Amino acid sequence: MISSMFGWGPARSQRVGARTPVKRLATEEITINGVRIELLRKEIKNFHLSVLPPDGRVRVSVPMRLPIERVISAIEARFEWILTQRLRLAATAEPELFLDGDFVPLWGVPHVIELVRGNDKAQACVAALGVIELTVGSGSTAEVRRTLVEGLYRQQLKSQAAPLLLKWEYALGVKASELRVRKMTTRWGSCNVAVGRIWLNLELARRPQECLEYVVVHELTHLLEAGHGPRFSAHMDRALPNWRDRKRQLNEG
Ligand SMILES: [Zn+2]
């Protein structure tokens, strides 16, 4: 379990001894930015946030009488942390084996893996609608197959991102110096504003293309506005009015 604990408000003198019974009420559920959060109200002084394996379920324990607006703003303040933990969990989840008949997502759509025996160079391709064909030798390991699938993801991501980059550079009146792809554990993308370089997370190839477009627009917008303040949101609203929905879709996973 990856969790974080932090005090709530000024320290109070009220003691909560080890023997004080902790009363639990029924669980409530709230949704913030598309992430469902289990809310437990308890006789506690602290706000306790947890991201639970294996699926990144989010649970928050809060003092009994803490108003819901304060609960929400506390969770929002920790939202980057929640996303980071969820990405880390996804990265360390049960390893995929990429065997014949297994499913892997590509652009949000499950694709079935077909293994083809081949003595030539190992390769991966989208052979038909919903089919990823891996050409491998007889004794291929999961690692070899993973490398092939990731190679395919990289190639797909680059070819889908290139026209989006051109489209949005033109629309926003900015120019990125280059676009690169890598595996990232804490972010969907990043932008080095000083040199105009944009990085995309390889994982984006698993998500719907609307999510990729959102990340491309987000990172290019950083060439206009470095931070994530109201000016950044205003640029995003003008460029891609439904960006919040796309962001939600991306975080829903
Ligand atoms: Zn950003």
**What is the residue-level pLDDT of the chain in tens, covering all 253 positions?**
333 333 333 333 333 334 444 455 557 888 887 788 889 888 888 888 888 876 788 889 998 888 889 989 988 888 888 888 888 887 777 778 999 999 999 999 999 999 999 877 889 999 988 999 999 988 889 999 999 999 999 999 999 999 999 999 999 999 999 999 999 877 899 999 999 999 999 999 999 999 999 999 999 999 999 999 999 999 999 999 999 999 988 887 6
Q: Where are the beta strands (DSSP E) in the chain?
A: 2-6, 28-32, 35-42, 47-52, 57-63, 103-106, 109-117, 123-128, 131-136, 178-182, 189-192, 197-201
Looking at the domain assignment, is residue 3 inside a domain?
no
In this prediction, residue 195 carries a pLDDT of 95
Q: How far is the CA of 228 from the centre of ligand 1 (A)?
A: 6
In this prediction, residue 16 carries a pLDDT of 37
Q: How far is the CA of 185 from the centre of ligand 1 (A)?
A: 15
Select from 92, 116, 143 the last residue of a domain: 92
Structural domain count, the chain: 2
Q: Give residue for tokens 């290139």.
A: 162
Q: In what order do the strands lie in the sheet with 2-6?
A: 2-6, 47-52, 57-63, 35-42, 28-32
Q: How far is the CA of 147 from the centre of ligand 1 (A)?
A: 29
Q: Are residues 125 and 59 in the same domain?
A: no
Looking at the domain assignment, is residue 4 inside a domain?
no
Q: Are residues 136 and 201 in the same domain?
A: yes
Looking at the domain assignment, is residue 188 inside a domain?
yes
Report the predicted TM-score, pTM, of the whole model to 2 decimal places. 0.69
Q: Are residues 141 and 73 in the same domain?
A: no
Q: Are residues 241 and 126 in the same domain?
A: yes
Q: Are residues 220 and 150 in the same domain?
A: yes
Which residues, including other chains, have CB under 8 Å from residue 98's CB and lie 6 or more apart?
104, 113, 134, 142, 145, 146, 148, 149
Looking at the domain assignment, is residue 161 inside a domain?
yes
Q: How far is the CA of 225 from the centre of ligand 1 (A)?
A: 9
Q: How far is the CA of 247 from the centre of ligand 1 (A)?
A: 12
- Which tokens hold the place of 115? 């293994």
In this prediction, residue 184 carries a pLDDT of 86
In this prediction, residue 26 carries a pLDDT of 57
Query: Domain of 43?
Result: 23-92
